[in-house]
Chain A
Amino acid sequence: DAGVIQSPRHEVTEMGQEVTLRCKPISGHNSLFWYRQTMMRGLELLIYFNNNVPIDDSGMPEDRFSAKMPNASFSTLKIQPSEPRDSAVYFCASSPTGGSFNEKLFFGSGTQLSVL
């Protein structure tokens, strides 16, 4: 299994530009999570999906952020317009459904976003 695949690995953009991050979860996993990691705040949950449906988006910072999961094998996180304070590492994670194993997350390698 290739694991959770994220693209791009690095993204450098200018303030005001639209940024789209992509994620392919592990096949058969029904839950997908988007996290943001910074030195100051650590790992923060932005949004998570179960069976392609957004369950909790309370961590999305503001309306500039949006996430979609059109099917079980693909998700996007979009920032429009981007701002320098959005600079962080964005991780996608997936997990299988069912009981306590729902807390076992499998992370991708992340997208390092720099907004100039």
Chain B
Amino acid sequence: QKEVEQDPGPLSVPEGAIVSLNCTYSNSAFQYFMWYRQYSRKGPELLMYTYSSGNKEDGRFTAQVDKSSKYISLFIRDSQPSDSATYLCATTGTASKLTFGTGTRLQVTL
């Protein structure tokens, strides 16, 4: 079993829809949770960063962590075609070693 599981998609939604992207993880020691966005033929870029449980909002993006169920979510409101990318969740404990999910490919259509 992988330490971080993520549905690969693809997920296709119309412009303006609310998108929900999810990951599950298995290691209780993970405390830091991140979402990276990766455009085609580019490296991943950090989108959101949270520590422990709770919600964090940044514009149209909300990251949510539920440590009791080991569940990580990213919500995108009013999705735009420019949001079309692969979204990778990542997590780590106290060491400088991120564990990534395999990514979910999102397509926002006009």
Question: Chain A: residues with CB nearer than 8 A to chain B?
Answer: 4, 31, 39-45, 48, 50, 55-56, 91, 93, 95, 100, 102-110
Contact = CB atoms under 8 A, between A and B. Distances in A.
Contacts of A42: 6, 88, 100-103
A104 B49 contact: yes
B34 to A, nearest CB: 7
Contact of A102 (B96, B100, B102, B103): B96
Given A41-B102, A107-B44, 15 more contacts: A39-B102, A42-B88, A42-B102, A43-B100, A43-B103, A48-B97, A56-B95, A91-B44, A100-B32, A103-B98, A106-B45, A106-B46, A107-B45, A109-B41, A110-B42
A87 to B, nearest CB: 16
Contacts of B92: 103
Interface residues of B, number: 22
Given A41-B102, A43-B88, A103-B32, A31 B45 contact: no
Nearest to B6: A42
Contacts of B51: 100
Most A CB contacts (10 A, CB to CB) among B6, B41, B49, B96 go to B96
Given A42-B88, A43-B88, A56 B43 contact: no
Contacts of B49: 100, 103-104
A80 B103 CA distance: 29
Contact of A109 (B43, B97, B101): B43
B96 A104 contact: no
Closest A-B pairs by Cβ, 3 of them = A107-B43, A42-B102, A43-B100
